[in-house]
């Protein structure tokens, strides 16, 4: 459930977030007084037209950008005031990113791509191998470990990206249009996989999408309109 | 842990053709630098090889080279009597009282005149310089206008053939022998009787420019120096022959080295631009990858390090290529003017391990400057837009 009564239990609590950009002398308000609570194990979709602030909100939640004002509590920790250096370390521990264009490193194999986030941990080589193999097994690509991205289909590439996102067992996954570059069949497979991660592995997934079919897979849907978060799909105030 | 090196190695492989510009420009600079340093090193090696640890050279006090020195026969005999000077089987002291003149003789290559160094020596000159061996013919006869020529002098000057006559100092000289001085500066000289040379050039009798003496042992040098410096009859300076020739090489080797680094420095600026171009292209084509690494949690400093390493790898490969290209120059014989004697001197380029290391280090310096700013740009670009390829 995502309402203010349960804010204290929320994994992610966004309080009065504003985000402005400066273009010359003009100030552009991208997000206006956004409040939001998300609980552990939720599958949340953010929808809205282009320029509504979905991606900006996702970037703020992922620690890729900082708000102009307001607070973002994640697992009790306010990331809004963190320095860039602290945010970098925080991201490596708490966020698994999944991008529309997969963003795999083309010169590295599937195994090496998935291993990348683990290089920032203290795990030994053999432990890293075990984690990578487990992540690739979850996404059904255990037999493609030594393949390069160019040797994989779009759907397979996105599954490698999901394995990379889950391999460190982050606090939550951030998906930016994860099916935007895929055909319907592959898109469904990716959405099935994300749903399974939520249902079977208790992952928290936040997804920005334009695709209503994708959004329908989420338990909770938010609509953004000109930087303002509208009521969610359950008719509750965010 | 840092961004894996394999990322950089495979990225270089993946865009190898665009890397070639930086690679070849750095290779060119390193090749030129190594060539210049090998020239200086070869020149020094040739001069230093002329000296022997067993020999002392005696010049007028304060003189820095033979050209500005003069010694009277009386002084030479006093020094010759010193017990630190080695004796031959007949008990005679082993030394050579020497004079040096410069004669202008035509080059084989162009026919134009060039300076050849003619050294008037004593009969014992061969005995005290054991690296000098007669290749052909015989040694000159004392009192006659006969001359033996060094092997490089023979190759360099027109008419320097065994059995022929050459003309200088107002008279003809018969070439009676050719000697090999083991790649030292003597190979570019010609030797004759010092007294006959003095007569030909109408110089005072019994006046010489230097004395080279065989020591009983290298360690005897200091004792000889002490003895000579306390003898009121002598106003001379004593040096080890090796130290003397080392000093003779300082000016020109310093000049060549400075010139080498200057030329390589100027060329290096061009190479740095080549490397900058390659690395900026590498960075701009990989903004999304860099942003992904940053999003995952790699720090900006790790991205800088990664791209610096990539630039250094390219530069090192360029340096290695340059070193390989120029390596065959090792041993190549060239000649130049020895500015101490104003005569032609042949020497072989010497590419030593030290020089190769200097060349490779220079390539790394080029790589550092070529990679630093692109690496900074890679790390400083905002992550969020770059993730979307913006």
Mean pLDDT of B266-292: 91
Q: Give me the residue from B1, B7, B383 closest to A108, CB to CB.
A: B7
On whether the CB atoms of residues B126 and B139 are closer than 8 A, the answer is yes
A99 within domain boundaries: yes
A176 within domain boundaries: yes
Top-confidence residue, B292 or B18: B292
Between CA B291 and CA B381 the distance in angstroms is: 8
Between CA B71 and CA B69 the distance in angstroms is: 7
Chain B residue closest to A167 (CA)?
Answer: B296
pLDDT at residue A5 in the model: 43
B226 within domain boundaries: no
Contact between chains at A92 and B383 (C-beta distance less than 8 A): no
Q: Which of A57, A105, A181 to mutate to test the interface with B (most CBs of B within 10 A)?
A: A105
In degrees and rounded to multiples of 5, residue B28 shows phi and psi of -60, -45
Contact between chains at A105 and B389 (C-beta distance less than 8 A): no
Query: What distance separates the 2 farthest-apart alpha carbons in chain B?
Result: 95
Chain B residue closest to A170 (CA)?
Answer: B296
pLDDT in tens, A40-93: 999 999 999 988 999 999 999 999 999 999 999 999 899 998 999 999 999 999
Mind telling me how many Å the CA of B292 is from chain A's nearest CA? 6
- Are residue B43 and residue B59 in the same domain, yes or no? no
Mind telling me how many Å the CA of A46 is from chain B's nearest CA? 17
pLDDT in tens, B232-247: 999 999 999 999 989 8
Domain of residue A158, CATH code: 3.40.50.300
Domain boundary among B217, B237, B268: B217
Chain A interface includes B385 (CB < 8 A): no
pLDDT in tens, B36-67: 999 999 988 888 888 889 999 999 998 988 88
Please list every residue in chain A whose beta carbon sits closer than 8 Å to the beta carbon of residue B13. Answer: 107
Range of the domain at B383: 5-48+248-387
Closest CA to A30 of A10, A6, A9, A55: A55
B227 within domain boundaries: no
Contact between chains at A105 and B7 (C-beta distance less than 8 A): yes
Residue A235 has pLDDT above 60, yes or no: no
Closest CA to A102 of B358, B388, B91, B290: B388
Strand partners, B247: none
Chain A interface includes B7 (CB < 8 A): yes
A236 pLDDT tier (thresholds 50, 70, 90)? low
Mind telling me how many Å the CA of B306 is from chain A's nearest CA? 14
Between CA B129 and CA B55 the distance in angstroms is: 8
Using the 8-state DSSP alphabet, how is residue B336 labeled? E
pLDDT at residue B34 in the model: 96
Range of the domain at A136: 41-63+83-229
Q: Give me the residue from A65, A103, A107 closest to B292, CB to CB.
A: A103
Please list every residue in chain A whose beta carbon sits closer than 8 Å to the beta carbon of residue B289. Answer: 103, 105-106
Chain A interface includes B94 (CB < 8 A): no
Name the domain count of chain B: 2
- Are residue B44 and residue B62 in the same domain, yes or no? no
Chain A interface includes B288 (CB < 8 A): yes
B150 within domain boundaries: yes
Contact between chains at B387 and A64 (C-beta distance less than 8 A): yes
Which residues of A lie closer than 8 Å to B, measured between beta carbons?
55, 59, 62, 64-65, 84-85, 88-89, 91-93, 95, 97, 99-101, 103, 105-108, 112, 116-117, 119-120, 164, 176
pLDDT at residue A1 in the model: 40
Q: Which residues contact B27 (CB under 8 A, 6 or more apart)?
A: B318, B319, B321, B322, B325
The length of chain B is 390
On whether the CB atoms of residues B222 and B29 are closer than 8 A, the answer is no
Contact between chains at B289 and A92 (C-beta distance less than 8 A): no
- Are residue B205 and residue B111 in the same domain, yes or no? yes
Between CA B180 and CA B136 the distance in angstroms is: 9
Chain B residue closest to A92 (CA)?
Answer: B297
B99 pLDDT tier (thresholds 50, 70, 90)? very high
Contact between chains at B292 and A92 (C-beta distance less than 8 A): no
Contact between chains at B4 and A120 (C-beta distance less than 8 A): no
Please list every residue in chain A whose beta carbon sits closer than 8 Å to the beta carbon of residue B4. Answer: 108, 112, 116, 119
Chain A interface includes B389 (CB < 8 A): yes
Name the domain count of chain A: 1
CB-defined contacts A:B, below 8 A: 75
Closest CA to B325 of B24, B4, B20, B7: B24
Q: Which of B14, B296, B378 to mutate to test the interface with A (most CBs of A within 10 A)?
A: B296
pLDDT at residue A9 in the model: 77
Mean pLDDT of all residues belonging to chain A: 90
- Are residue B29 and residue B66 in the same domain, yes or no? no
Residue A184 has pLDDT above 70, yes or no: yes
B235 within domain boundaries: no
- Are residue B74 and residue B131 in the same domain, yes or no? yes
pLDDT at residue B387 in the model: 86
Q: ipTM of the assembly?
A: 0.91
On whether the CB atoms of residues B337 and B343 are closer than 8 A, the answer is yes
Please list every residue in chain B whose beta carbon sits closer than 8 Å to the beta carbon of residue A103. Answer: 288-289, 291-292, 387
- Are residue B279 and residue B333 in the same domain, yes or no? yes
Closest CA to A218 of A62, A46, A99: A46
pLDDT at residue A237 in the model: 53
Please list every residue in chain B whose beta carbon sits closer than 8 Å to the beta carbon of residue A89. Answer: 297
On whether the CB atoms of residues B79 and B118 are closer than 8 A, the answer is no
Mean pLDDT of B254-283: 90
Residue B212 has pLDDT above 80, yes or no: yes
The length of chain A is 238
Burial tier of B206 (Cβ tally within 10 Å: 0-12, 13-18, 19+): middle
B239 within domain boundaries: no
Mean pLDDT of A121-136: 95
Chain B residue closest to A118 (CA)?
Answer: B1
On whether the CB atoms of residues B70 and B206 are closer than 8 A, the answer is no
Top-confidence residue, A103 or A9: A103
A165 within domain boundaries: yes
In this structure, what is the dihedral angle of CA atoms B382, B386, B388, B390, given to the nearest 10 degrees? 100
- Are residue B253 and residue B370 in the same domain, yes or no? yes
Q: Give me the residue from B6, B297, B384 closest to A92, CB to CB.
A: B297
A6 within domain boundaries: no
pLDDT in tens, B108-138: 888 889 899 999 999 999 999 988 999 999 9
């Amino acid at each position: 459930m995502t309402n203010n009564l349960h804010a204290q239990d929320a994994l992610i609590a966004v309080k009065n977030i504003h985000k402005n950009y400066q273009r010359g002398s003009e100030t552009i308000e991208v997000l206006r007084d956004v409040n939001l609570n998300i609980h552990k194990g939720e599958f949340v979709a953010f929808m809205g037209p282009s320029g509504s602030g979905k991606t900006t909100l996702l970037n703020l939640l992922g620690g890729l950008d900082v708000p102009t004002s307001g607070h973002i509590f994640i697992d009790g920790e306010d990331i809004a005031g963190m320095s860039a250096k602290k945010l970098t370390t925080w991201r490596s521990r708490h966020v698994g990113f999944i991008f529309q264009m997969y963003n795999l490193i083309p010169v590295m194999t599937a195994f090496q791509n998935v291993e990348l986030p683990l290089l920032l941990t203290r795990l030994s080589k053999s432990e890293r191998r075990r984690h990578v193999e487990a992540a690739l097994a979850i996404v059904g690509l255990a037999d493609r470990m030594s393949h390069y991205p160019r040797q994989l289909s779009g759907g397979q590439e996105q599954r490698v990206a999901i394995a990379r996102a889950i391999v460190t067992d982050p606090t939550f996954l951030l998906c930016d249009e994860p099916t935007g570059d895929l055909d319907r069949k592959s898109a469904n497979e990716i959405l099935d996989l994300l749903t399974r991660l939520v249902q079977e592995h208790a992952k928290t997934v936040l997804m920005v999408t334009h695709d209503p079919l994708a959004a329908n897979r989420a338990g909770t849907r938010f609509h953004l309109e000109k930087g303002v978060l509208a009521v969610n799909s359950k008719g509750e105030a965010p | 842990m840092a961004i894996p090196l394999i990322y950089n190695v495979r990225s270089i492989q993946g865009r190898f053709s665009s890397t070639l510009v930086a690679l070849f420009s750095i290779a060119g600079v390193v090749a030129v630098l190594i060539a210049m340093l090998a020239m200086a090193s070869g020149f020094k090696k040739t001069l230093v090889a002329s000296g022997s640890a067993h020999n002392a050279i005696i010049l007028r006090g304060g003189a820095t080279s033979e050209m500005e020195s003069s010694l009277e026969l009386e002084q030479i005999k006093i020094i010759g009597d010193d017990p630190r000077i080695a004796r031959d089987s007949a008990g005679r002291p082993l030394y050579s009282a020497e004079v040096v003149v410069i004669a202008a003789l035509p080059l084989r290559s162009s026919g134009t005149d060039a300076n050849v160094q003619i050294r008037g020596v004593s009969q014992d000159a061969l005995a005290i310089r054991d690296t000098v061996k007669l290749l052909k013919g015989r040694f000159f006869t004392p009192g006659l206008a006969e001359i033996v020529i060094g092997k490089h002098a023979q190759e360099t000057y027109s008419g320097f053939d065994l059995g022929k006559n050459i003309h200088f100092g107002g008279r003809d000289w018969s070439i009676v022998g050719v000697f090999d001085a083991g790649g030292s500066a003597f190979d570019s000289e010609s030797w004759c009787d010092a007294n006959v040379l003095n007569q030909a050039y109408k110089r005072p009798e019994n006046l010489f420019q230097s004395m080279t003496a065989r020591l009983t042992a290298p360690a005897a040098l200091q004792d000889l120096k002490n003895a000579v410096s306390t003898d009121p009859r002598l106003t001379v300076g004593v040096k080890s022959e090796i130290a003397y020739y080392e000093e003779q090489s300082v000016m020109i080797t310093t000049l060549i080295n400075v010139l080498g680094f200057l030329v390589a420095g100027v060329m290096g600026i061009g190479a740095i631009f080549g490397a900058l171009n390659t690395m900026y292209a590498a960075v701009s084509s990989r903004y999304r990858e860099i942003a992904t690494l940053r999003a995952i949690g790699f720090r900006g400093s790790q991205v800088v390090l990664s791209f610096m390493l990539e630039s250094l790898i390219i530069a090192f490969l360029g340096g290695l290529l340059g070193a390989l290209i120029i390596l065959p120059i090792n041993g190549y014989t060239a000649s130049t003017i020895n500015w101490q004697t104003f005569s032609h001197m042949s020497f072989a380029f010497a590419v030593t391990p030290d020089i190769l290391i200097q060349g490779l280090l220079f390539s790394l310096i080029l790589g550092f400057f070529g990679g630093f700013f692109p690496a900074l740009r890679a790390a400083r670009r905002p992550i969020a837009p770059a993730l979307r390829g913006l």
